[in-house]
Structure formats: structure tokens, C-alpha cells
Amino acid sequence: MPVAIITGASKGLGRALAGALAARGWDLVLDARNPEVLKETAAALEAYGTRVTALPGDVTDSWHRAGLVTEARHLGGVDLLVSNASALGAEPLVRLDELPLDGLRRALEVNLVAALGLVQEALPALRAAPAGAVVTVSSDAAAEAYETWGGYGASKAALDQLAAVLGAEEPGLRVWAVDPGDMATDLYAAAVPDDDDPRPDPVSVVPALLRLLDERPASGRYGAPALLEAR
């Protein structure tokens, strides 16, 4: 069975994707910082009958990243690496004139540096996989100038460029940066707590990611709404 590492998989989009892959028979290595929530998620996913390894930790910890890849190797390798865990830099979001520089550093560390660290750790296994793929979860804020989203958006824009170059450097892999669009999750609520407009459930975005896996288009940046519309 193929094996996926998904960071930030205890809730939100990561959990929704993990459920869909488990339903397809994928074995999974999942992380998140809160061990209790992660454990509950892993227990729920085991109902699909696949192997689920839950490794609590912070993606900014290099030992933790190495542990994720070691666990995946125990399951057979790494077919898919999904960098989904994310930091906002400020909760709620604030304008750039107020953004704490430590918050920006944290967003860059979680969203960018850790993502590259995990790619570096997993690359030998990804290259050895029959159809290795990397998904980096991006954001509309990487491409649009929304007030207060500057620090987070800058980190996601940098992640997009990292994914683009990785795709060029690793022609044997697929590297997809995916903008999932707005979703009703804890991250969104923390970013803009006063926004009461309804947002889509992250489960509704998962078919876009599955389409990438099924059709394996060229490496590049994709928006979930377009992937869903064309389906």
C-alpha cells in the first residue's frame, strides 16, 4: 500500500485528507503538536483498516521530522509528503505595522523552513517511490495583497517558490503547491475571529487533492476551486 506523511493532520484539512487516503487504503504517518487530539484522530482513522502512525511533535523540530520519515520507512517508504501544518504569525492577524517580528519568524520557520527540512529528509524515499509526490499547502494570501495577511502570505509565497524550484529540480517527482481556498477551521477562526461568514468544510476540498493524485498533472501551483470545478 502507498504511504503518505501528512503534517498537521489532527484536524482541519490534514485530517480530512488523511481520512480520504485511509478510505483508499493508504498507510499514514500523521503529526500535530497536541498528542491527545492526534491520538483521537488516528484512532478514528484506524476504522478504515489501514496502518496509521501518529507521531506527536512540532514540524520545526528536526528530530521530529526525521522521526516522521523513519516511521514512514517502517510502513514501506514515502509515496506522498503533504506539508500542511501552518502558523499564522499573529492570532488574530494584524497589519504589517504591528506584526511582531518573532511572529513572522515563526511563520517562516513552520511554513517554509520546516517544509524544506521535511522534504530533504524524505527525498531519498520519495525518489525511490514508483510515483513520488509532494504537496505543499498554499493560500490565496500568497498571491493576493489582503490587509493583515502579509506575514503569513509572505511565508506561503516563499513556500510556493520553493515548491516550484523543487519541481524543476526533481523531474521524477510531482510537486504541487495547492491553494485550498477558505475553509471553516480553527486556523481560519484564529486568523479572523470576527468573520462570521460561513466557509466551506475542509472535507469539500479533499477531492481537489485526490484529483492531483489520480491524474498526476505537471508539477506546479493549483487552486482547489479550479480543480473542483473542472471535475
Ligand X SMILES: NC(=O)c1ccc[n+]([C@@H]2O[C@H](COP(=O)([O-])OP(=O)(O)OC[C@H]3O[C@@H](n4cnc5c(N)ncnc54)[C@H](OP(=O)(O)O)[C@@H]3O)[C@@H](O)[C@H]2O)c1
Which residues are designated catalytic?
138, 152, 156
Which residue in 3, 6, 7, 129 binds ligand X (CB under 6 A)?
A: 7
Q: In what side-by-side order are the strands of the sheet with 3-6? A: 52-54, 27-30, 3-6, 80-83, 133-137, 174-179, 220-223
Let me know the angle formed at the C-alpha of 144 by 229 and 210, rounded to the nearest 5 degrees. 35
C-alpha 151: how far from its chain's center?
18
In this complex, which beta carbon is closest to ligand X, that of residue 117 or of residue 180?
Answer: 180
**What would the DSSP string read from start to end of 80-120?**
EEEE-----SSSS---TTT--HHHHHHHHIIIIIHHHHHHH
In this complex, which beta carbon is closest to ligand X, that of residue 130 or of residue 145?
Answer: 145
Of 31-39, 73-81, 90-98, 164-172, the window that binds ligand X (rule: CB under 6 A) is 31-39
How near is the Cβ of 229 to ligand X at its closest, in Å?
17
Residues in the chain, overall count: 231
How near is the Cβ of 32 to ligand X at its closest, in Å?
3
Which residue in 46, 58, 91, 201 binds ligand X (CB under 6 A)?
A: 58
Residue nearest to ligand X (CB): 12
- In the window 127-146, what residues touch ligand X (CB under 6 A)? 137, 139
Which residue in 4, 10, 79, 213 binds ligand X (CB under 6 A)?
A: 10
**Burial code of 100-137, b = ≥16 C-beta within 10 A, e = fewer?**
eeebbebbbbbbbbbbbbbbebbbebbeebeebbbbbb
Running DSSP on this structure, what letter comes out for residue 197? S
Q: Is 221 in the site for ligand X (CB under 6 A)?
A: no
Query: What Cα–Cα distance (Å) separates residue 137 from each residue in 5, 49, 134?
Result: 13, 27, 10
Residue window 85-114: x/- pattern of binding to ligand X, with contact defined by CB under 6 A: xxx----------------------x----
Q: Is 84 in the site for ligand X (CB under 6 A)?
A: yes
- In the window 171-210, what residues touch ligand X (CB under 6 A)? 180, 182-183, 185-188, 202
Binding site for ligand X (CB under 6 A): 7-14, 31-34, 37, 58-60, 84-87, 110, 137, 139, 180, 182-183, 185-188, 202
